[in-house]
Structure 1
Amino acid sequence: MRTPARLPVHVLALAAGALVLAGCSAASEPERDDAGAIVATEESADVFAIAVGDCTNDPDDGADELLSVEAVPCSGPHDNEAYHAEDLPDGDFPGEEEVTAAADEICFDAFEPFVGLAYEDSRLGYGSLTPTSDSWADGDREILCLVADYEGEPLVGSAQGLAE
């Protein structure tokens, strides 16, 4: 059995990061260029609008359930970059522990191909945004993996191929 992921302290809030009822969110879609990259900071971006390649900053309140995040251009300093998304199979909500374990496996497996270095050798860590039982009931199955600096330093640019 693999050792659980070492999560950067500032990603822990996102690791439990519950995606909750997108329809009820007052958050908005971030502004994007023609290629789909975020071009302006959106302090209250709908968490369901965050996609692979997007960069975000951690919430200040340490919330366990998120409706919105601060979405920022990846060219500037940011806490996290979404590097992989994968849906869990349909069916009944498997439970928080099972979702967390699945997210750990999914994000761990996608880490090295994205960063270009084995997780164990990297200065980077990962966390995830995962469905809650409430968002699951609304059809949410997505695990969204986020890479961040293990020491909590901001990233600038993409971590793809960084090999650090």
Structure 2
Amino acid sequence: MIRPLLLLGAALAAPATVAAAPAGPLQVTSKVLVESKQRAADGTTRVALVPAKRAVPGDRVVFVLAYRNTGTQPLSNIVFDNPVPRGVAYRAPLPGSAVPELSVDGRAYGALDQLTVAANGARRAAAADDVTHVRWRLARPLAPGAQGEFAFQAALK
């Protein structure tokens, strides 16, 4: 099983570090984008995603994970596990991206409404702010030359 583990630092301006299985045909890259409001000549405002150079609490960011099979054989059983950096609150998958499995502890994964956290000596339903990891599994083998990407929205705490 190939399990690339992406470690995204809390400093959004720093590039992400990718730790994966030994060097092989699976290329994985990640980037962090921040929402930027841009005013058009007609007075309307549009939101664009731009590389995160600076971000402050409350800013909405998007974490993007891109992958590609550079080999000559299909790759199977691929799981992407992406920790959510401290100081960042998970919000939702980016529209058009696959819905990830979520975790509040890095061990148990599922849909948000299936997760619980300990609070004040009891268990409560998990909230988006409790998410510590997002994970995607490729359902089918990744063909040679095939590529894709996953992304999720978050906010700086």
TM-score (norm 2): 0.27
TM-score of the pair, normalised by structure 1 = 0.26
Which is greater in Rg?
Answer: 2
Higher share of residues assigned helix: 1
Please identify which structure carries the higher strand content: 2
